[in-house]
Structure 1
């Protein structure tokens, strides 16, 4: 008796070691629900787990989202002693701090060996995440609601549609409400209960440029290639189109393979298969009941093979005539996976409206790209246009002044780490460096070669090579980055089709600024007046007291300085190398020649024409940029035959020089 009392007392003393978690948990409605689906949860099979997840999600219990969240994060544990569920955090390698789902409060620390961790696989975790959307859509935190909408946009299914609809009415944020309404219509396209409901959702997106709309509509129009005996598709099929074997949409080989796959015809008999099969079944000088001496005849080989088929020694196979007959006896067609013809018709019509709007916006996007490219060519060519027009000098080293400007910007960035400040400093520095280099080149080389264009071309070409080699010796052959400020990162997007980077917008604005600068310079300053006078008639300008040599020097330096600024702008989106200028010298000369030598408006029109022409050719032939350059040069050659002096030719006596 005493022994029994001692055992009972010992049992009572040990009860706190397994505290009242079982009692509390058993009284908890969420624990009762988990125990109800305990076997399913323990099994953790993706095929059978959905009812348990749905029961937790739809229970209306306050602890339901916590259970799903911890389960999906693999922080849900089951106590081995009684199968109750908790969530826990590891204190150390062998100890857990256990929490009650009902109260979310810590119950104590326990050995990890007393619990089994639930480790749902990726498929079950996806189902849990899908169930959590119901709670996330109504979460007080707007960021979590947006995250839930993003998750629905990626993996939304039919079960989410009523949940999403229920959350719209009480949504406090106008922006998030708009997102929910849009997503509700997108899900309705795929999972709406009636045809009318789905068609109405589609009509709402007529002309919408969103990629998500096309992603929702395209699956409605997915089709499969089918084949049936007879002359027409079966009644009740939603047929996209009838296919003719041998057409671009369905080759004869693919059509017959479809017949074989559907057990509507034997496999095709090729000559090699026939010969190999016959050779494998030669028996006593005969095969398939036909003498070997007769097998040179194709008909005899067919009879021999047919004999092997009849004897069960070879699989049935079709001859060429049988293949043709089988193709003629069947109808091939594409059938929509969507059974409703009204739904597919509506989806097709809405997609047509979207494609028309996409085409228009692609044209706008191409126009923006062309204007952006034109602004780059204008910056690169504006200095060349002035020097070429005033001095008649073919400066093959103009591209190297662009390269020098880009390297100047790179050096400034190494000295000033703030990219905004360094860019502001780099522009005048690049102008100063290349202006000085241009003046030095004009004083040392060009001034001795006036009226000798061939020697000038050869001399400047040699200077170009020398400057490239000098840049390689100083900076090496590795490309150097000219980093743009943070406020130039990204792009200005008008919709999902039309966008332009902020760097290109900045270059476009810079080009307009230089256009205004040159108009003021040429029309409102003494240097501009003298430059125009020398351009029109050098001898008459000299007789009026203008020093042509001084004008030439300043003009050449000015053109070179502007090339340096263009180099800074170009270096913001192109890698700075010693060959940077060579990528723009040809386009610069084409811009000047097409626009009209020595005319700022002609240069602007020439750059615009070259930019649009290049982008248009690249759009027609996007896989071959070299071909685009070739076609563009051919077009320019033809253009010059009809307008040898460019779009805007010089007026006055110089026009006849």
Structure 2
């Protein structure tokens, strides 16, 4: 039986790594604490950089206390206040806070220094997620003073992806080195970067007062071209995705208009206001959940969708019954009448909700997004809108093609007198069809409320585009 050398080797490596992460915590000395907290900005910056480079285990806690404005000084002594109690910053023992103790004031520059130092210290964290966050934070603030810490983190890093990111961070630091060979090597390494911050860094180095060596400038330009080509794809895909999400909303608006205009021949200039009613219905449902069901707020959108549909459908039914029914076959009068109704609806909303835009919040599960590329994030709310539009189109296609209502609508549209002779109540079908188109406009308003402003003039920006979509679509 062979001796399990591989297993023994794995155990040894694991023990070595655990010892690396679990190095005994050093304590900041009293001199270090004073230098970081008291004195001129340049001296404090140097002390912060020195503490960050040392990898002191107590430094992150002290840096965070400074950022939280929890550090006070009295003479040469420095205190950290936690939970109403004062502790000596060097020994971490509880001590009475002198009456003359003053807050440590941190300028914006000092805060940037502290945040950068805190991020650099997180590079040595045993938590992979924390190390990834630290890498992102350091991209904009890393300098050559932190190079030893970056080298130390690079040597200890076991994740291949983070190790590659650390190599790029190291190159970003060395790009400003006094050594030409290091700058040239860094310029070559940065060509593999996918980060917009790297592009900004290269542009800075290519300024007239930046890189002076011709061969290094040439390599910087080559790396910049490679990064720009890579980032351009993210920008193009972002434009396409944004267009698809906004197009999905326009599709829903045009879909409702296709029923009222394409199937019924009614030029409904109040169609945008029906979308506005759907958006305000979403706002009302949101407020009801906030007031009465705060624990279920993340699911208010599930109640807002049918509420938006019903609110717009009922208003549409009232419009058809009271005004539009008497104007079939008279397109000019219908246009003018529905335009007047749109003004009435806008003024009614202003009277009830005010003239200012109202805020509709996204549920937590619709917040954030998927980072598809370094410069491309696909927001969850826009992904949901595209999927929602597909579901609505599929549902409407099923209703029109497979249901009794759809059969009646198609029959009345194609030959109204013959449908009436067959016993179809054409007046009722007209009301149902108009309500369906209005309800779909309300669904568009519900979707739009998740990505845009909700106000009395909401519908005015979509009515012309939706008519163009219907006409160009061949209805």
In structure 1, distance between residues paired with 2:37 and 2:445: 67
Q: Which has the larger radius of gyration?
A: 1
The separation in 2 between residues aligned to 1:128 and 1:559, in whole angstroms, is: 58
Candidates 176, 179, 196, aligned match of 1:190: 176
Q: 2:395 aligns with which of 500, 506, 517?
A: 517
Corresponding residue of 1:423? 301
Which of the numbers 197, 201, 209 marks the counterpart of 1:212? Answer: 197
Distance 1:57 1:434, change over 3 A: closer
Describe how 1:447-526 pairs up with structure 2 within 5 A: 447-526=325-404
TM-score normalised by L of structure 1:
0.56
2:188 to 203, 207, 213: 203
- Deviations along 1:147-193, one digit per CA (max 9) or x if unpaired, are 76466433322232233213322235666544433311222333274
> What is the match of residue 155 of structure 2?
169
Q: CA deviation at 1:361?
A: 2.8
Residues 536 and 181 (structure 1), Cα distance of their counterparts in 2 relative to 1, 3 Å cut:
same
**Contact persistence 2:206–2:217 (CA under 8 A):** yes
Contact 2:123/2:130, CA 8 A, preserved across alignment: yes
Deviation digits for residues 305-349 of structure 1 (CA, Å, limit 9, x no counterpart): xxxxxxxxxxxxxxxxxxxxxxxxxxxxxxxx3222111101111
SS of alignment partner, residue 492 of structure 1: strand
* Distance of aligned partners of 1:533 and 1:165 in 2 relative to their CA distance in 1, 3 Å threshold: same
TM-aligned CA distance change 1:449 to 1:184, over 3 Å:
same
SS in 2 for 1:414: helix
Separation in 2, partners of 1:416, 1:176: 43
More helix by share: 2
Question: What residue number does 1:360 align with?
Answer: 233
Residue 132 of structure 1, CA deviation = 8.2
Contact 2:355 2:455 in 1 (8 A): yes
- 1:157 is the counterpart of 2:157: no
Structure 2: how far apart are the matches of 1:41 and 1:493? 37
Moved more, 470-479 or 378-387: 470-479
Say if 2:140 and 2:197, in contact at 8 Å, map to a contact too: no
Following superposition, the deviation at residue 388 of structure 1 comes to: 1.2
How big is the shift at 1:436? Answer: 2.6
| Matching of residue 388 in structure 1 with residue 373 in structure 2 | no
Taking structure 2 as the reference length, the TM-score comes to 0.75
Give, in angstroms, the shift of residue 389 of structure 1. Answer: 1.8
- 2-structure distance, mates of 1:536, 1:588: 23
Equivalent pair of 2:49/2:146 in contact (CA under 8 Å): no
User: In the alignment, which residue of structure 2 is the partner of 1:277?
Assistant: none
Report the 3-state secondary structure (helix = DSSP H, G, I; strand = E; otherwise coil) of the residue aligned with 1:574. coil
1:404–1:567 contact (8 Å) kept in structure 2: yes
Is 1:570 the counterpart of 2:443? The answer is no
Gaps of 5+ in 2: 1-27, 291-295
Distance across 1 between alignment mates of 2:312 and 2:43: 75
Alignment check: 8 A CA contact 1:56 1:64 kept: no
Query: 1:380 Cα deviation (Å)?
Result: 1.0
Note closer, same or farther for the CA distance 1:176–1:555 as it changes in structure 2 (3 Å cut). same
Q: After alignment, is 541-550 or 444-453 more displaced?
A: 541-550
- CA distance in structure 1 between the aligned counterparts of 2:346 and 2:47, rounded to whole angstroms: 72
Q: Give, in whole Å, the separation in 2 of the partners of 1:171 and 1:508.
A: 40
CA contact (8 A) 1:419 1:483 kept: no
Distance 1:143 1:46 in 2: 32
Check 1:110–1:514 CA distance in 2 against 1; reply closer, same or farther (3 A cut).
Answer: closer
Say whether the 8 Å CA contact 1:71–1:120 is kept in structure 2: no
Q: CA RMSD in A?
A: 4.4
Question: What is the total number of aligned residue pairs between the two structures?
Answer: 437
Tell me, yes or no, if structure 1 residue 223 matches structure 2 residue 208.
yes
Residues 138-157 of structure 1 aligned to structure 2 (within 5 Å): 138=124, 149=135, 152-157=138-143
Measured after TM superposition, the shift of residue 379 of structure 1 is: 0.8
Structure 1 residues 548 and 355, CA gap change in structure 2 (3 angstroms) = same
Distance across 2 between alignment mates of 1:70 and 1:577: 42
Residue 338 of structure 1 aligns with which residue? Answer: 211
CA distance in 1, matches of 2:252, 2:349: 22
Structure number with greater CO (CA < 8 Å, separation at least 6) is 2
Query: Structure 1 residue 43: deviation in Å?
Result: 11
Q: Aligned in 2, Cα 1:146/1:450: closer, same or farther, shift over 3 Å?
A: closer
**In the TM superposition, what whole-angstrom CA distance separates every residue of 1:423-462 from its partner, at most 9, and x where no partner exists?**
2122212222322332232222222222111222222222
Is 1:57–1:64's contact at 8 Å kept on the other side of the alignment?
no
The whole-number CA distance in structure 1 between the counterparts of 2:97 and 2:305 is 69
In 2, the alpha carbon distance for the partners of 1:400 and 1:380 equals 11
Q: Is residue 277 of structure 2 the alignment partner of residue 436 of structure 1?
A: no
Matched residues in 2 for 1:145 and 1:123: separation? Answer: 24
- Mean CA deviation greater in 354-363 or 507-516: 354-363
Alpha-carbon distance, 1:413 to partner: 2.4
